[in-house]
Amino acid sequence: MDKIEHKNVSVNGINMHIAELGEGPLVLFLHGFPELWYSWRHQILFLASHGYRAVAPDLRGYGDTTGAPVNDSSKFSPLHIVGDLIALTQAIAPDQEKVFVVGHDWGAFIAWHLCLFRPDKVRALVNLSVAFFPRNPSCSLVESLRSAYGDDYYVCRFQKPGEIEAEFAQIGVKNFIKKMLTYRTPGPLFFPQGKGFGDSPDTPVVLPSWLTDEDVDYFVSKFEKTAFTGAVNYYRALNNVTWELTAPWTGAQVKVPTKFVIGELDLTYHMPGVQEYIHKGGFKRDVPLLEEVVVVKDAAHFINQERPDEVSKHIHDFIKQY
């Protein structure tokens, strides 16, 4: 990891921290929740060793990226984040008209929108864990999830400013990070008020072989510094701002060469209708240049960390064609 270089770049009114390594075509890695550039540590090394310039930012509101108005969740819509990323690529690779994009979790959600808004900037896309969600013209994604799962579903619980942050504080940053990154239940994540994950905050978490104490400590050190408001603002913007601002793209297709990888035990893979959408034609209808869907056996949500070599190879095998 010592080989990975770090710097800050002024983009779109914020100061964005990036980790990078290598030379060649740019591969932009977008992390999810509750994560950082560090989630791509293995892929950065792999892609750099195969002739690419691997770049992973801390997204707006996360880690060492500063300047975002964390007290205003309306500034965390996909349009804001995509604006950051377009400015970033123009700043660090002005000679590259198009770049490769790899996203996971929220990073995948942002990557879908990057390809919707600016397909002219993307050579090819590899997304992990979160399939494309076509915009529902009748209601926001939060309201759709509330109808399906109720008020205790984690996305719904994240809506009220300050409330979930206080519960995270009760659980403790380290315990929360450990429980999230090791979550392997192939079903909806509920977070009932005052009950957290449904067990005692003192219940020990046994780390799997792919996640070390050192890894956990890195995430903890950053979230102890920033807290979680910037991160949960993405969920808060979903309810009204994102739904309203993305109205012009209702019914729009993602027209970028795409590969999609998901774990067999990923909670998103077991949401109502998702498997049918992915495998029965809906996904291909909305993403007509979708070339491959990979379901990784016995892998869960944080697949880029859990199966680093396998995921790195999937990425490289796809983008080397372009």
Cα distances from 63 to residues 68, 195, 223, in angstroms, run: 11, 27, 7
CATH number at residue 236: 3.40.50.1820
Measure the CA–CA gap between 22 and 20, rounded to whole angstroms: 7
Q: What is the mean pLDDT of the chain?
A: 96
Helix 213-226 / helix 173-181 crossing angle, nearest 10 deg: 130
Q: What residues are labeled active site? A: 105, 235, 301
Helix (H, G, I), strand (E, B) or coil at 319: helix
Predicted pLDDT of residue 197: 79
Provide the 3-class DSSP secondary structure of residue 133: coil
Beta carbons of 157 and 151 less than 8 angstroms apart: yes
pLDDT band, residue 177 (cuts 50/70/90) = very high
**What total number of domains does the chain contain?**
1
Token representation of residue 65: 């990226």
| 272 torsion bin: left (phi>0), alpha (psi -120 to 50), beta (else) | beta
Dist CA 159 CA 303 (whole Å): 26
Least confident of 86-95, 101-110, 180-189: 180-189
DSSP 221-271: HHHHHH-SHHHHHHHHHIIIIIHHHTGGGTT----S-EEEEEETT-GGGGS
pLDDT band at residue 2 under the 50/70/90 scheme: confident
In the prediction, which pLDDT does 269 show? 98
Across the range 260-268, mean pLDDT stands at 97
Q: Which pLDDT band holds residue 203 (cuts at 50, 70, 90)?
A: confident
Tell me: pLDDT of 250 over 90: yes
Q: Which of 73-87, 106-120, 194-208, 306-320 has the lowest mean pLDDT?
A: 194-208
Range of the domain at 60: 5-320
For the entire predicted model, the pTM comes to 0.97
Query: Over the stretch 16-45, which tens digit does the pLDDT of each residue have?
Result: 999 999 999 999 999 999 999 999 999 999
Q: How much is the average pLDDT of 191-204?
A: 80
Confidence of residue 222 (pLDDT cuts 50, 70, 90): very high
Residue 276 pLDDT: 98
Give the residue carrying structure tokens 């550039």.
37
Q: Look at residue 128 and tell me whether its pLDDT is greater than 90.
A: yes
Q: What's residue 195's pLDDT?
A: 83
Given this model, what pLDDT does residue 1 score? 76
Q: Which of the four pLDDT bands, split at 50, 70 and 90, describes residue 196? A: confident
**pLDDT tens track for 299-310:** 999 999 999 999
